[in-house]
Amino acid sequence: MNTYKAPVRDMSFALFDVIQAEAIYAKLGIEAAQRDIMDAALEEAAKFNENVLAPLNSVGDREGCTFDKATGNVKTPTGFKEAYTQFVEGGWAGITARAELGGMDLPESFGVLMKEMIDAANLSWGNYPLLSHGATEALKHHGEPWQQEVFLKAIVEGRWTGTMCLTEPHCGSDLGLLKTRAEPIADGKYAITGTKIFITGGEHDFTDNIVHLVLARLPDAPAGTKGISLFIVPKMKVARDGSVGERNAVRCGSIEHKMGIHGSVTCVMNFDGAEGYLIGQPNKGLNAMFTMMNTARLAVGIQGLGLIDRAYQNALRYSRDRLQMRALSGAKEPTKPADPIIVHPDIRRMLLTSKALGEGGRLLAYHAATLVDVMERTTDDAERKQADDLLSFLTPIVKACLTEWSVECTYNSLQCFGGHGYVAEWGMEQLARDARITTIYEGTTQIQALDLLGRKVMQQQGVGLKQFLGMIQQFCEQNIANAPLAEFIGPLAVLAKEYTDTTLAIGKRAAANPDEIGAASVDYLFYSGYVALAYWWAKSVAVAEAGDYPADFKTAKRETARFFFARILPRTRMHKAGIEAGAHSLLALDAALFDS
């Protein structure tokens, strides 16, 4: 009963009309990135996701993955492997990879549109290509030419998949505690020994080989994070010439039984002297790891976006069909025994919250993705640094806010169904369960908040923040005399000023007490997210009003923006109060007294 229809019109509007990506692509010399070509590709992508992946979403949830303890093999849910074969045959595995690697050479930002569809259609299935993409990025930026030829091309073509093996049983976000060992052996190879947990796609039946990217320590490595190296450890041994040998000494020891994403296998991986190759320089693995992590963090933000949209679509359809009671202001459909529940104000509040956060969040995420294109393709070093600074600032906001909003919006969408939302056959409780992990993996919301405020704002002196505030201020100045936008421009300009003042105040308090950073970080993160969406909603209205769009489209954008400014943007007041409350109330109670 739970379906998905790709929102192609709004995707195209966001990327091409509001963000003006086509001009960005032209400047970067991406010849294949013409709007008519990409619009056609978008329609094809929609067919694959609506007709192939979306129907498998409930199948994956019901069946989950099956682990054979005797062999260490994993069987994915019915239809998953066949869908991957179609995905590869359609050329989607390498959609954003360069042509010389066997890819389609389309922009990373266009790949994000495809990814949003995949995550909305089938989040569990989408985790397999997501991890491959992270491995691709690490190999592309840090691998030796022969490693790119042998491993990267195979992943781009979809013949092999990739993983990130970072976490250990005793070591989550604190990678300085990592214990996995790497011993040099013959022919420039290393023997990798250790256990990794929470490894998405660590074992499956999609492909014959899986390329694990593993963090480990060399024998002479310094302590802490300065002594971590990154290694390629394939499931099947692979020689430098690309020939595949016998099974490597890496094996899935068990799979996790999880709250959600049942079709996505999460493995404990045991490395017992497995053969591997060093990526990059010894003890410099964190550089390559952060390449994977930053890619994955944006990708997980897109997962939140996809879940918001699918949950919203189904809640909207149900709210239009479900008859229950009469509108308080009088019957809206007097020929029927009751009115559809969409007439009730609080149903509209929940639906509009999902619409506002989803469509606004789409712009936030797509804009970040275009910065990836600029970083990777520009020949101007200053432009590259500028894009990098802004992307670094936006990444934790995209990851944390979109995933937290997905929890809120899947909850609201389930609530629209009432008791039916709690029943599995409607598919809403699956979306709510699946959403929960997105706030945790690839760095929890709290990690993102500390990264944003502690590193990207305080340590880097707010270089990305200043850029973003400059965008807002420029937009406000350009539209100060635009009367139809006045209701948005005024509040936005005030917030931009307040944003600066609030940040400076945190820095002043933190100089006296470093705990102020941790105390303010989550509130600061959400404050940032809501200000960002206020900018994008104001800009959406400006573009819609000035363009040749249907009247209903323009009306929907303006009224949703009004809802956002009236009902959601005031959340910044609560977060500002939390920031200003400081660290004292959080730390005053002694840890021993929490159970008193």
pLDDT averaged over 10-residue windows placed end to end, the chain, 596 residues: 95 97 95 88 96 98 97 98 97 91 92 97 97 90 95 96 93 81 94 97 98 96 92 97 97 98 98 97 87 88 98 98 93 94 98 98 98 96 97 98 98 98 97 98 96 97 97 97 96 97 98 97 98 98 97 98 98 98 96 95
Active site residues: 442
What is the model's pLDDT at position 501? 98
CATH of domain 8-142: 1.10.540.10
Beta bridge mates, 194: 271
What is the model's pLDDT at position 293? 81
What is the model's pLDDT at position 287? 83
What is the model's pLDDT at position 134? 87
Q: What is the DSSP string of 438-452?
A: HTTTTS-HHHHHHII
Q: Does domain 160-289 have CATH number 2.40.110.20?
A: yes
How far the first Cα of the chain sits from its last, in Å, is 48
Q: Record the tokens describing residue 221, joined without a space.
A: 């490595």
The per-residue pLDDT for range 547-589, each reduced to its tens digit, is 999 999 999 999 999 999 999 999 999 999 999 999 999 999 9
What is the model's pLDDT at position 451? 97
Residue whose token pair is 């005399």? 481
Distance CA 366, CA 109 (A): 6
**Nearest to 396, CA basis, from 464, 461, 333:** 464
What is the model's pLDDT at position 290? 80
The number of residues making up the chain comes to 596
The per-residue pLDDT for range 339-386, each reduced to its tens digit, is 999 999 999 999 999 999 999 999 999 999 999 999 999 999 999 999
CA atoms within 13 A of residue 542's CA, in its CB half-sphere: 21
Distance CA 216, CA 567 (A): 48
| Longest pairwise C-alpha distance within the chain | 82
What is the model's pLDDT at position 1? 79
What is the model's pLDDT at position 170? 83
What is the model's pLDDT at position 89? 96
Boundaries of every domain in the chain: 8-142, 160-289, 449-586
